[in-house]
Amino acid sequence: MLNLHRLFLLHELRRLQTMTAVASAHSMSPSAVSQQLSQLERETKVTLFQQVGRRVVLTDSGVQLARRAEEMLGLLETAEAELAVAQGEASGLLRVASFQTPMIALAPAAVSVLAQQYPDLHLEMSQQEVDAAYEGLLAHRYDVILGEDYPGGQQVVRRGTDREALLRDPLLLVLPDSGPWADAHGLPELAGAPWALDPSRSRTGAWSRTYLREAGIEPRVRFATPDPLLQVHLVRTGHAVAFLPGLIASEHLGGTRVVRLPGSPHRSLYTAARAGAAGHPSLLAFRAALLEAAGGLTDLEGLEVLES
């Protein structure tokens, strides 16, 4: 019988393209990966890969077996989910990866809900940006991740995953409550303002710069940081203006002036899990707890809308 772990490594070689990448993703040495795949090749008695220059490339037979391995891994997860349903309530360990703002605003409430409803379910949460979280999900280091899409950006959907919408989060402008930028009523008045924005290569940073340039403003980025709470601090102390998500507006934007942006842009938050595990009770319980936590967020009605 074929060894499932070796099949998984073959599947990972097809996904990641190099032995080094597979080794890095799974805390193995490249030689250990090579040994496992060579053993798989001996077991199958079929040439699965070959050396092309300095790279190892899957043969047609290797690609076909890697595809079957992906199907088998998905079926195994589906079987495990069905067994978990038969056993009853959600329990065991659920490994979660999330970027920062949901961990600030949603995770504490969701963890409290789960602790009350499913005391035998234990969460391990890691802060990861979306791309790294997806890689960890596909490498089976995480069971579920939280992600985000921005207006005009490419929607992130990975093959073999199950994606579920969580909430629409308004994107807001945060100004100091005193100083030269505090009384701005339109975007043109902020043409010379210093900004605290996410790095340009991030989803948030790309969106914010595009939004400002479409409004005729080339932002003067004084602070480039992915930390929204640091951005808020820089605004509160009068050193910058910033875009912040509504998710953290109710508890973390005190001492600032918060306004809605022209066009009411928003980001979309979602969860993603491997498709085979979509029916697992622990995943269903976690998603339900997140929705409950999102439903308890403070309403942002009544905010002033900035002029174009």
Tokens 């979306």 belong to 130
Q: State the number of CA atoms in the 13 A half-sphere of 1 facing the CB.
A: 3
Comparing CA positions, the residue from 68, 269, 277, 69 lying closest to residue 161 is: 277
CA distance 205 to 218: 13
Q: Is 68 exposed, middle or buried, given 0-12, 13-18 or 19+ CB atoms closer than 10 A?
A: middle
Please name the residues in contact with 203: beta carbons below 8 A apart, sequence gap of 6 or more. Answer: 130, 148, 149, 150, 153
Q: Write out residues in the chain with pLDDT < 70, as ranges.
A: none
CA distance 215 to 48: 54
For residue 6, what pLDDT is reported?
95
Q: Is 215 exposed, middle or buried, given 0-12, 13-18 or 19+ CB atoms closer than 10 A?
A: middle
**pLDDT digit string (tens) for 168-189?**
999 999 999 998 999 999 999 9
Gyration radius of the chain over CA positions: 23
CA distance 144 to 12: 19
Q: Decide if 20 contacts 29 (C-beta within 8 A).
A: no
**pLDDT digit string (tens) for 236-281?**
999 999 999 999 887 777 889 999 999 899 999 999 999 999 999 9
pTM of the predicted model as reported, rounded to 2 decimal places: 0.89
Q: Which tokens in the block code for residue 135?
A: 């890689």
H or E element: which one contains 58? strand 55-58
For residue 273, what pLDDT is reported?
97
Tokens 């490419």 belong to 154
Other Cβ atoms closer than 10 A to 214: 10
CA distance 233 to 254: 10
CA distance 289 to 196: 32
For residue 233, what pLDDT is reported?
94
For residue 228, what pLDDT is reported?
93
3-state secondary structure of 118: coil
For residue 301, what pLDDT is reported?
77
**Total residues found in the chain within this entry:** 308
